[in-house]
Structure 1
Amino acid sequence: MLRPDHLVISAETLAGAAEPLAKLFGAEFAPGGQHPLMGTHNRLLSLGPGEYLELIAIDPEAPQPAQPRWFNLDHFRGGPRLSHWVCRCEDLADTLAMAPDGAGRVAALSRGDLRWQMAVTDSGTLPFDDTFPALISWEGEAHPARRLPDHGIRLQALQIFHPDADELRAVLTPLMQEPRLSVLQGPPGLSAHFTTPHGEIRL
């Protein structure tokens, strides 16, 4: 079964997005690292045990990757916004066999002692207009969320919008049972509700 792993906030630059997001959440996003395969870099914020927020952007110091960047970052424009969600699974290959066409192929990735497999697509986009989750499988016990300061921020609800909501819901239901998730009719997009020590936030 799939479980929420992290939510992705895309940005044109990390430097331009980190400060306003820190003010919004009342907490700094911790340094993450680089992804040489994709030419991106990130910063991270804990959402409690096993979950986190990822702020990601194109790394201006990295060479152009051989394939389109993940999360459709090659075409991202505008202010930082919630763009994708990522779910983890035990066996990525088996999960991909049950996922819709275009969910990706298995790529092995690492940074320091972190090891994981990610479903990477040839187009840089995901099914259902990027509202289907990216899929990840962590190897071993190491996980970014365990290394981040816990500021008491928690995900309370995640809404996925798509014109074909019934079809997307039918695809997701056999793969995961997540009470915080709802799939609703509307233009493609995501909305997340968080609680923090300073109040509630919606992205």
Structure 2
Amino acid sequence: MKAIPARLDHLVLASPDLAATVADFARRTGVTPAPGGVHLGLGTRNYLVSLGGTGYLEIIGPDPEQPTPTGPRPFSVDALSTARTVTWAISPPDLDAAVATARARGYDPGDIHPMTRRRPDGTLLEWRLTDGDTQHPSGLVPFLIDWGSALHPSASGLPVTPLLSLSGTAPDPDEIRALLATLDTELPLGEGPVGLSFTVDTPRGPVTFV
């Protein structure tokens, strides 16, 4: 099994304190994440780091410059006490077809929703992704994303920490493997509490985040 899943789009490192997590990443790796932008109305913003190729790391947390949103912030950042790798995303060649195929195979990755983010230069990015209550709650099964005609974040001159490996643990790894198969992807899995971890190559050597 490959250490890096096929069609990996990005990893999500969520934090209750975005500034502190970005500073910690820079301290540990020697690479400073780049500002990504603001998720208007959702109360979050992000910072980005390329993982090499077309993959990237999203560090996301509450945006102190936005009013408190009416609903929960994405990726349950309000419920976190520390930064944690909460999930990952893949980018299939045809998002709608991938959702239909997964459902036919017995797993519903969720409905497809439009999303937007305002980059620091004012550019509005628009994309589509799967989201909903039918997604597996562990975060080990990726959500699906389609950037359409938008400039992919990995193509925006981000600082780079090449991804060396991504893996997870679950009480029942076989359950997760079966769901991953419905999406035509895979993830190295061991038995244990639910969790994701990844290792990146940096100027200070390999660094692992959980």
TM-score (norm 2): 0.82
The answer on whether the counterparts of 2:16 and 2:78 sit within 8 Å (CA) in structure 1 is no
Residue equivalent to 1:44: 48
Is 1:162 aligned with 2:170?
yes
After TM superposition, give the deviation of residue 196 of structure 1 in Å: 2.1
Q: Once the two structures are superposed, what CA deviation does each residue of 1:87-139 show, in whole Å capped at 9, x if it has no partner?
A: 112333332331534x33211123325221021225xx941422211221111
Aligned to 2:201: 195
Higher relative contact order (CA 8 A, sep 6+): 2
Residue 164 and residue 3 in structure 1: after superposition, are their counterparts in 2 closer, same or farther (change >3 A)? same
1:56 aligned partner: 60
Instruction: Give the secondary-structure state (helix, strand or coil) at the position aligned to 2:85.
Output: strand
* Aligned 8 A contact 1:45 1:148 in 2: no
1:96 equivalent to 2:105? Answer no
Superposed counterparts of 1:107-146, under 5 Å: 107-111=113-117, 112-121=123-132, 126-140=135-149, 142-146=151-155
Q: Does 1:71 align with 2:80?
A: no
Indicate if the aligned counterparts of 2:15 and 2:61 stay in contact, CA closer than 8 A.
yes
Greater share of strand: 1
Q: Which moved more, 1:61-70 or 1:109-118?
A: 61-70
Check conservation: 2:33, 2:49, Cα contact below 8 A. Answer: yes
Query: Identity of paired residues, percent?
Result: 37
Asked if the contact 1:160–1:191 (Cα under 8 Å) also holds between the matched residues in 2, the reply is yes
- Aligned partner of 2:86 among 83, 86, 96: 83
Higher mean C-alpha deviation, range 40-49 or range 91-100: 91-100
CA deviation map 1:131-153 (0-9, x unaligned): 211221111261011113343x2
Give the deviation of 1:190 after TM superposition: 0.3
1:82 to partner: Cα distance = 1.8
Structure 1: distance between partners of 2:150 and 2:17: 31
Q: 1:147 aligns with which of 156, 159, 168?
A: 156
The 2-side partners of 1:121 and 1:38 are apart by: 16
How many residues align? The count is 196
Structure 2: tracts of 5 or more residues without a match: 118-122
For 1:118, the aligned partner's letter is L
In the aligned structure 2, how far is the partner of 1:176 from the partner of 1:106?
18
Instruction: Assess, with a 3 A threshold, how the Cα gap between structure 1 residues 36 and 75 changes in structure 2: closer, same or farther.
Output: same
Q: 1:141 to 1:2 in 2, by over 3 A?
A: farther
Whole-angstrom CA distance in 1 between matches of 2:75 and 2:165: 21
TM-score computed with the length of structure 1 as normaliser: 0.85
Q: Which residue of 2 aligns with 1:34?
A: 38
**Shift in Å at residue 51 of structure 1?**
1.0
- Provide the C-alpha distance between the structure 1 equivalents of 2:189 and 2:110, rounded to a whole number of angstroms: 22
Tell me by how many angstroms 1:65 deviates. 3.5
The question of whether the paired residues in 1 share the 8 Å contact of 2:14 and 2:84 is answered with yes
The letter for the 2-side match of 1:115 is E
Runs of 4+ residues over 4 Å off in structure 1: none
